[in-house]
Structure 1
Amino acid sequence: MAKILDRLLLFIYSLSIGILSVIAILLLTGAVPFSLEFVDDNRFVIAAIVVSAVLFLLSIRLFYISVRQGRGTLHSIDQRTDYGDIQISVETIENLSYKAASRVRGIREVKTRIRITDSGLEIMVRAIVDGETSIPSLTEEVQKQVHDHVEEITGIPVSYVSVYIANLVQSPVMKSRVE
């Protein structure tokens, strides 16, 4: 409800500023007969026209923002069951992916991102590893764990799990002291 009210106020504001700036431009340029005898300086008129033009451009941008639809990104995945509708947020699925990837031995830091496609979920996992475990076997284990865990918990098919190994954990270097 608040978003609708905000959009309505932005629409009214941008429309009124746009109309006022067009009127000001028309009056200052002389397109509409109006006496500007009280203004002696042409620099003031030019500055007022420039300010009115900038306000008009800003009002067009704000008007566009007020009437455009949402970005079209899905913030949740909707499922229908015999008992009613279920909505699972993308953030929930990202957290499930994070949880599954973090359980794999050798993984230190994880970030996940979800993309929704017609064939199912595409999950991208970015990880930092310890450097002690074979990376091919580690990534395969992460893919399997994330795939199985997300499908089991949500019931949504996972079509693809991509794993990107960003770096190794930097272990503290101990310098031996020789005397």
Structure 2
Amino acid sequence: MIRIIDKLLLFIYSIIAGALAVVLVCLGLDWITESGVNETASSFYSTEPAQITITVVGIVLFLISLRFFIFSLHRSGPSSAPSIDQHTDFGDIRISLDTIENLALKAASRQRGVKDLRARIHAADAGLDIVLRVVVDGETAIPALTEEMQRSVKQYVEETAGIPVTNVSVFIANIIQSTVPKSRVE
């Protein structure tokens, strides 16, 4: 939602800056006369609603400028995405947590009996903590399924990403009811 508001503010700000640029060009080329500028300015100073409007527009523009200034200080581009940084002899490697999440989901989805998956990754100094939220079909033994899932996710993430996995937690959120229709005898 904040991105949409920022885009709207940027659009409004761009329109106002563009209009101001056109006025400045017209002033510079003498398309707007000095007497016209003086006449318009004196009419703004003589009426109270015009003064209030100018004041409100000025405050809004200042707040939008302040918002963009703060936004520019806090965001540093795509490199600000949460990631795991590794240094090798050949250079630096950055792997996003989204990538690790997708690796965990890929390994967990290979298990039979899994119907829906979600993963969360927490990075710590010792390694990764992976939490899987799983919906199963109920036809596979849950202890065997979760143990195999933990082992395969840990092994796959460690081999593929080269990052140690300290813990793989599995939360069985639900069991899907089988939808086998019962035959009806009349």
User: TM-score normalised to the size of structure 2?
Assistant: 0.64
Mapped pair 1:162 → 2:169: yes
CA deviation map 1:47-96 (0-9, x unaligned): 22122212211110111111224385433542414x55544443432232
- 1:10-40 CA distance string (max 9 Å, x none): 9xx89xx7xx9xxxxxxxxxxxxxx964134
Number of matched pairs: 150
Aligned to 1:141: 148
How far residue 118 of structure 1 moved from its aligned partner, in angstroms, is: 0.7
Pairing 1:1-179 to 2, within 5 Å after superposition:
37-39=42-44, 40-70=46-76, 72-81=80-89, 84-172=91-179, 174-179=181-186
- The answer to whether the 8 A contact 2:135-2:173 is kept is yes
Kindly indicate whether the alpha-carbon contact (under 8 Å) linking 1:107 and 1:128 is maintained by their aligned counterparts in 2.
Answer: yes
CA distance in 2, matches of 1:125, 1:103: 14
CA distance in 2, matches of 1:85, 1:104: 34
Using the alignment, how far apart are the partners of 1:50 and 1:97 within structure 2?
Answer: 52
Identify, as 1 or 2, the structure richer in helix: 2
- 1:86/1:42 CA distance change after superposition, 3 Å: closer
TM-score computed with the length of structure 1 as normaliser:
0.66
In the alignment, the residues of structure 1 paired with residue 167 and residue 81 of structure 2 have an alpha-carbon distance, to the nearest angstrom, of 19
Mean Cα deviation higher: 140-149 or 130-139: 130-139
Quote how far apart the aligned CAs of 1:122 are.
Answer: 1.5
Supply the RMSD in Å over aligned alpha carbons.
Answer: 3.2
Q: For residues 74 and 113 of structure 1, do their structure 2 counterparts lie closer, same or farther at Cα, with a shift above 3 Å needed?
A: same
d(CA) in 2 for partners of 1:88, 1:37: 61
Inter-partner Cα distance in structure 2 for 1:177 and 1:44: 80
For the 8 Å contact 1:77–1:90, the answer to whether it is kept is no
Q: Which runs of 5+ in 2 are unaligned?
A: 1-9, 21-39
- TM-superposed deviation, 1:138: 2.3
Paired amino acid for 1:101: A
For structure 1, the residue ranges without an aligned partner over 5 or more in a row are: 1-9, 21-34
